[in-house]
Amino acid sequence: MIELTHLTKVYGHGDQRTVVLDDITFSVEAGEILAVVGPSGAGKSTLAQCINLLTPPTSGSVVVNGDDLTTLSANKLRVARRRIGTVFQAAGLMERRTAAENVSLPLEYLGVTKTEVAKRVAELLDRVGLSERAGHYPFQLSGGQRQRVGIARALALRPSVLLSDEATAGLDPTTTDSVVDLLRELRDDLNLSIVFITHEMDTVLKIADSVARLDHGTIAESGRLVDLLTDPSSSLGAELRPRREDAEALAGQRVWHVVYDAPDVPSDWISRASQDLGVALSVLGASVQVVGGISIGGVTLGAPAKLGDRVRDALIRYGLSAETDSSARPLEGVA
């Protein structure tokens, strides 16, 4: 488990003084994945550097499994930092070392025997599905494979916290998914606390248990992913909900934007609401995803304009809220 309390980072003095992190407090339980999102310059990478103490925080504490890392002497800190593994964007591998040699790096620094290193490296590469690539150099690996090597290296010293700063940035969607799946698997198997920094909202949906949005160095909003997604007043929830690509409404139809509002929307609500209204509602677009066992997202429906607000009333019953475009698409030749 990792706990940050009143973490602050200030760069510069006097006129140059910039508060990059301002009183950040949050914790990530063992087995939990917290996604940290936020615009460029919000302070996400600075936060990562302060968490693993590559950069000393100006004030506040970083507590891992009960020990405050900010109060340790340089010697003790060197040991304690092993509890935090870090994965960076584009993996940050050493180009002149093979995959195996990259993974062995942290072990070599520790003075582990050659036999032990070889055994542990083989285990780690197997864990990330790269046994076959042990002797390959980074330039011979795909982006996803490089990230896997980076992850294996981050796990070499058996950390309890894994910190990932834009680890999936620049990867195509399929590769991103495979890295996300690997991280979730590792979280389950090793009971890791993972801090996953990203600017990709769709990746957050796939990986996070909870989300914090950093803005100008402060946490603007945070909460459990499922709670944010089902909270109509949450702006972070609104940003996270999948976007729809809508088809055009038919003539005489009014377009309704329907959002899942309740955790128990029946899966056959479209046919039930159609039955209630005595017309077939047509789906113009949909983007619904199951997150934490709950359907979230939205559907765009076309309904005969003459039904008016009866559509909204029919949907509320099933735990859905519906907003309509201001005007119906006119019947051909009538407008």
Ligand X SMILES: Nc1ncnc2c1ncn2[C@@H]1O[C@H](COP(=O)(O)OP(=O)(O)OP(=O)(O)O)[C@@H](O)[C@H]1O
**Distance in Å, CB of 53 to ligand X, minimum:** 15
Considering the complex, state which of residue 49 and residue 104 has its C-beta at the smaller distance from ligand X.
49
For ligand X, the binding residues (CB under 6 A) are: 11, 18, 20, 38, 40-46, 199
Binding residues among 278-317 for Mg ion as defined by CB under 5 A: none
Select 43 or 298, whichever has its Cβ closest to ligand X.
43
Token pair for 132 = 């076959």
Mapped onto helix, strand or coil, the DSSP state of residue 140 is helix
Binding mask 25-64 vs Mg ion (x if CB under 5 A, - otherwise)? Answer: -------------------xx-------------------
In the complex with Mg ion, the residue whose CB is nearer, 44 or 146, is 44
Total site size for Mg ion, rule CB under 5 A: 2
DSSP E strand stretches across the chain: 2-11, 18-28, 33-37, 59-64, 67-68, 84-88, 161-165, 193-197, 210-215, 218-224, 253-260, 282-291, 294-304, 320-324
The one-letter amino acid at 1: M
**In Å, how far are 252, 256, 258, 269 from 306, measured between CA atoms?**
8, 13, 18, 21
DSSP state at residue 249: P
Q: How far is the CB of 36 from ligand X (least distance, A)?
A: 9
Q: Identify which of 225, 185, 249 has the alpha carbon closest to the alpha carbon of residue 31.
A: 185
CA angle centred on 312, ends 308 and 318, rounded to 5°: 150
16 or 115: whose CB is closer to ligand X? 16
Q: In terms of CB distance, is 20 or 236 closer to Mg ion?
A: 20
CB of 156 to ligand X, least distance (A): 25
| SS3 at position 64 | strand
Give the residue with the Cβ less far from ligand X, 47 or 273: 47
41 binds, among Mg ion, ligand X, none (CB under 5 to 8 A by kind): ligand X
State in angstroms the smallest separation of the CB of 90 from Mg ion.
12
Smallest gap from residue 240 Cβ to Mg ion (A): 19
Amino acid in position 319? G
Q: How far is the CB of 187 from ligand X (least distance, A)?
A: 23
Say which entry of Mg ion, ligand X, none residue 71 contacts (CB below 5 to 8 A, set by partner kind).
none
In angstroms, the CA 303 to CA 249 distance is 9
Contact 35, 239 (CB under 8 A): no
**Contact residues: Mg ion, CB under 5 A:** 44-45
